[in-house]
Amino acid sequence: MEMGENGLLKKIYGSFTAGGKGLKKRKTDGAFGSVILGPGDDAAVLRIRAGTRLLLSKDDLVEGTHFERSWADPRRLAARLLAVNLSDLAAMGDVKPLGCLVSVGFPADLPADWALGFLRGLKKASSRWSVPVLGGNLARSERVYLSMTIVGSGESRLIRRAGARPGDILAGVGPLGEASAGLDLLRRGGAKARRRGGVPRWALPLVRSFMEPVPQLEAARRLAPLLTSMMDNSDGVLRTAETLAQRSGVRLRLSLSETPASQALLRFSWERGIELRRHQALGGEDYGLVFTLPARRWEEARRRVPAVYRLGEARRGRGVESPWAATKAFEHFR
């Protein structure tokens, strides 16, 4: 299968996660369990009763694609697995996680420590975020895969990817570029990185950003009443803006002049000789949020969540205006 090129990938991808036609709004006849939002947003939405919605989403971590056993600590992988799934819920607004289900594929010769480490990490993460593990599946597999489904509940007003309007402010919350720097360090550090020997001390916060991203549930809860559109920035802020622009039918002007960057990230970009803002625009893996809101509500948003930062604004038109646009083909399949 040729990836990221032919129509096939789009077709498959569209069927599973993000229909090109935008959100598929189905029956909203009010029946119990009717589908309000199918594939295509951060989470699917079912009607449970007047004013109450059930949210469901799925995200996987696959050995050889998202991690290597050589450098990934299984306890931290469990933390990442839950965090990236919780991020899907946060991206829908004011959502309370109810629980998760976990399918794992483990090789027959997987060291016992690895499996137990994952289990301990899952229990710890489950307890940290108060998300019970409801069930799951264990299968034999040549390489490790970790597949999670997250379930949450929310009120009827959820924030979709479509909804940004001309004049809105584009903004974000959470780290930018920290996690992808951490991933790069882990890959280069290899087996030593797992034991923290392959990564310099100053860079450990970057590794932590990758392995244990913090889902923005609380920020999403506080900001939700003010927002017109939202999604998480796991694909990088540039691609995220492209998706929001496409779904909302607006043009987004993107600037990263006001975004945060840790001391470790500044040093990372300096030592590597890479442009910080470009790295932040394309990086991904951070699981912060990108959202839009009417300009008149910006001050209120800052009061509610002081860590929000401005990323630009929405205008009439299409696409994203930024110094980094069109630098890379859209590549979702990983």
Map the footprint of a second copy across residues 180-219, applying CB under 8 A: none
Residue 12 CB, nearest approach to a second copy (Å): 5
Residue 44 CB, nearest approach to a second copy (Å): 4
Residues in the chain: 334
Residue 166 CB, nearest approach to a second copy (Å): 29
Beta bridge partners of 146: 61, 104
Q: Report H helices in the chain.
A: 7-16, 74-90, 112-128, 178-189, 191-194, 204-211, 217-223, 237-248, 263-272, 276-282, 298-304
CA-CA distance, 241 to 217, in Å (whole number)? 20
Label residue 299 exposed, middle or buried (CB < 10 Å: 0-12, 13-18, 19+): exposed
Residue closer to a second copy (CB basis): 107 or 205: 107
**Does 32 interact with a second copy (rule: CB under 8 A)?**
yes
Residue 34 CB, nearest approach to a second copy (Å): 9
**Does 128 interact with a second copy (rule: CB under 8 A)?**
no
Residue 79 CB, nearest approach to a second copy (Å): 16
| Contact window for a second copy (CB under 8 A) among 41-49, 228-236, 304-312, 319-327 | 41-49
Q: Using CB under 8 A, pick the residue from 87, 149, 209, 243 that binds a second copy.
A: 149
Instruction: Give the pairing of strands 95-106 and 145-155.
Output: antiparallel
Q: Using CB under 8 A, pick the residue from 68, 115, 251, 319 that binds a second copy.
A: 115
Label residue 313 exposed, middle or buried (CB < 10 Å: 0-12, 13-18, 19+): buried
**Does 234 interact with a second copy (rule: CB under 8 A)?**
no
| Number of chain positions touching a second copy (CB under 8 A) | 74
CA diameter of the chain: 58
Residue 144: both structure tokens together = 């490790």
Residue closer to a second copy (CB basis): 47 or 277: 47
Interaction with a second copy in 49-78: which residues (CB under 8 A)?
49, 52, 54, 56-60, 62, 64-66
CA-CA distance, 23 to 39, in Å (whole number)? 7
Residue 41 DSSP symbol: B
Residue 148 CB, nearest approach to a second copy (Å): 9
Q: Cα dist. 12→26, 80, 191 in Å? A: 20, 26, 35
Interaction with a second copy in 83-102: which residues (CB under 8 A)?
96, 98-99, 101-102
Binding mask 9-28 for a second copy (x = CB under 8 A): --xxx-xxx--------x--
CB distance 284 to 236 below 8 Å: yes
- Helix 74-90, helix 112-128: angle, nearest 10: 40
Q: Using CB under 8 A, pick the residue from 10, 22, 46, 129 that binds a second copy.
A: 46
Residue 202 CB, nearest approach to a second copy (Å): 32
Residue closer to a second copy (CB basis): 32 or 273: 32
